[in-house]
Chain A
Amino acid sequence: MGITPMEIYKLLPKTNCKRCGETTCMSFAFKIINKEKKVEECLPLFEESKYEKQREELLDLLKPLEEATETGLIVDESKCTGCANCIVVCPVHAAEDPYGAGIGYGIKMENPILRVEDGVVKVENLKICRRYGKNRILCVACRENCPTDAITFLEG
């Protein structure tokens, strides 16, 4: 399951002190998920001892964030069967590699987003993913067509 901004917000001080540079703690929580801010920038959480328990819980919660890729994609290789549904449904692959992944064959383009190697899907080049960069859109085609939930996204 992914992490929601609300879950992060609940563990923040909720004082809207603005020391992190954000107007509210809620917007700070969103920026953490998008990896634009780091949790360490919340100074009261680390300075004041009354938040100690909350801080530990929050750091625990954010552990998957470190493993996740730039687009929030998490691949659990132990659940993957290598069916390549995610590779074929990916709109970027279909556009860039119409006679490879587009028609179901093994990927023929160089540097695809995902590739099946040794029977499991591996992330190779996220820079062309529609979720990458400033003008991103929240595409979930690969996750929607993975029945074993081997592919998840941070936002849940």
Chain B
Amino acid sequence: MICTGCALLCDDVIIINDSGNLKVRNACRRGAKLIANYKNLRADATINGKKVNYEEAIERVKEIINNSESLAIYGMDTISIEAQKLAIELAERKEAYIDDNSTFCLGDFVEMILKKEIPSTTLDEVRDYAYVIFYWGTNPFHTLSRHMSKFTYYPRGKRRQRGYEEDRFLVVVDVRRSHTAKLAKKNAKFFEVRDDLELIQAFIDALDGKPPKIFANDVFRVIKEMEKSDFNVIFGGLGLRYGLKGKYDKFLEMIRKMNERTKVYFIPLGCHPNMRGFNELLYGITGYVNKYSFKDKESKEDFAFYNLLFEEKIDTALIIGTDPLNSLPFEYAKKLAKINVIVIDPRENFTTKIADVVLPSAITGIECGGKMKRIDGVEITLEPMIEAEIDDVSIIKSILNLIMEGI
């Protein structure tokens, strides 16, 4: 089956049913625990914390959404593309705001890739051809455990038959010696940086033929290694996104200059299983990847979900498959108490506890199928273990039908 624990969507996971006990083979710790414990901590249908049946809950949702003047739909990174499509349709009909976690995650990089400002590739090609592999501001050993062993540094590929010992060169850029940085031993370089922009400037200087201010020898060595091959790749994480402090043009300049000498690709390294799917879907419909308002027909920082909350611009939030009370800073998250909160989630979490209405759904990939997009944009069809009666698609569809009746 396909594991939906993270954005890698590993397709080689084997489930062995040992008289009721699920044994999960090949999945990492995160994926294995997600699959083995899928029955635990499930959410119930509730209204104001009291258990109700599903029909009552959905009736209440209809009431809240029909009375709402400014609705925001948020989350959707863990549900299938089919369900995301319906959620976007709902937002369109209600002229609502729509946003996902990529606003403060790696949505900006995905937008650059979709606009073809930055060259990107797929992970399968990385395995077959990549020589110099950058991990910039990310620790995939923990966020995407199998990233290095399944796609990048360790496996042998078509033109990289000798694996990590001779046919790969690992570069890790981080502010501290993370677990991934510890793996940078032979044929590798670890840059412990204070400011990402300094290192980017050093690369730009070196590519221009000027002596760089920091890591003078190492920067030249890495560029020399990159010139040995015609396929190099940079994986950028949240450390890079925030390290750039919004100055994406510097980073783009570095990539452009590198591409004059050799071939360098970029892949963002986000963790949510279907964040890329949502970004691409919304980009196809509206031309923006996230924080979009169907009322104003544009996307800007003010329409990010956390800003909408903070500035109290919305009266209802439909939260699908995420936990903002846990992930957003308290200053922002506490404003959820002032508005109507509807949560669609398979599991109990902090937000379901404060929600006005909770609609329990199915875990995508385990109890319901569909399609998802891996972090490099490859579409993968899920192979669920069982088919649940109620899933995200059926819930959003019934909300949509009820709202249509109202209109």
Residues of A whose CB lies within 8 Å of any CB of B are 80-85, 87-89, 94, 98, 102-107, 115-120, 144-145, 147-148
On chain B, the number of residues with a Cβ less than 8 Å from chain A's Cβ atoms is 36
- CB pair A118–B163 under 8 Å, yes or no, is no
- CB pair B24–A83 under 8 Å, yes or no, is no
- CB pair A88–B27 under 8 Å, yes or no, is no
- CB pair A147–B155 under 8 Å, yes or no, is no
Q: Which residues of chain A are near B12, meaning CB under 8 Å?
A: 105-106
The answer, among A87, A104, A107, A118, for a CB contact under 8 Å with B32, is A118
Subset of 26 A-B contacts with CB under 8 Å: A82-B27, A82-B29, A82-B146, A85-B148, A85-B149, A85-B154, A88-B149, A88-B155, A89-B149, A98-B156, A103-B127, A103-B155, A103-B156, A103-B157, A104-B146, A104-B150, A105-B150, A106-B25, A116-B26, A116-B28, A117-B24, A118-B32, A144-B185, A145-B183, A147-B180, A148-B179
Q: Fill in one digit per residue for B9-39: 1 if any A CB lies within 8 Å of its CB, else 0.
A: 0101110000000011111111111001000
Q: Does B182 contact A (CB under 8 A)?
A: yes
Q: Which residues of chain B are near A116, meaning CB under 8 Å?
A: 25-28, 32
A103 to chain B, nearest CB (A): 5
Complex: A149 Cα to B259 Cα, angstroms? 38
Residues of B whose CB lies within 8 Å of any CB of A are 10, 12-14, 23-33, 36, 127, 141-142, 145-146, 148-151, 154-157, 163-164, 179-180, 182-183, 185
The answer, among B26, B151, B179, for a CB contact under 8 Å with A147, is B179
Instruction: Give chain A's interface secondary structure class.
Output: loop
A81 to chain B, nearest CB (A): 5
Q: Which residues of chain B are near A89, meaning CB under 8 Å?
A: 149, 154, 163-164
The answer, among B23, B24, B141, for a CB contact under 8 Å with A81, is B141
Q: Which residues of chain B are near A81, meaning CB under 8 Å?
A: 28-30, 141-142, 145
Task: Return the chain A residue nearest B10 by Cβ.
Answer: A106
Complex: A118 Cα to B13 Cα, angstroms? 11
Q: Which residues of chain A are near B31, meaning CB under 8 Å?
A: 82, 119
**Contacts A94-B156, A147-B141, A147-B182: A83 and B27 contacting too (C-beta < 8 A)?**
no
A83 to chain B, nearest CB (A): 4
Most buried by A among B13, B26, B145: B26
Complex: A82 Cα to B27 Cα, angstroms? 7
The answer, among A83, A88, A98, A105, for a CB contact under 8 Å with B145, is A83
Complex: A96 Cα to B102 Cα, angstroms? 41
Q: Which residues of chain B are near A105, meaning CB under 8 Å?
A: 12, 26, 150
Closest 7 CB pairs of A and B: A106-B26, A104-B155, A119-B32, A119-B29, A106-B12, A82-B28, A147-B179
Complex: A83 Cα to B180 Cα, angstroms? 11
Q: Which residues of chain A are near B13, meaning CB under 8 Å?
A: 106
B294 to chain A, nearest CB (A): 41
Most buried by A among B146, B149, B151, B157: B149
- CB pair A102–B156 under 8 Å, yes or no, is yes
Complex: A88 Cα to B152 Cα, angstroms? 11
Task: Return the chain A residue nearest B184 by Cβ.
Answer: A147
Complex: A112 Cα to B112 Cα, angstroms? 43
B343 to chain A, nearest CB (A): 28
Task: Return the chain A residue nearest B12 by Cβ.
Answer: A106
**Contacts A84-B150, A88-B149, A104-B150: A119 and B163 contacting too (C-beta < 8 A)?**
no
- CB pair B25–A117 under 8 Å, yes or no, is yes
Q: Which residues of chain A are near B164, meaning CB under 8 Å?
A: 89, 145
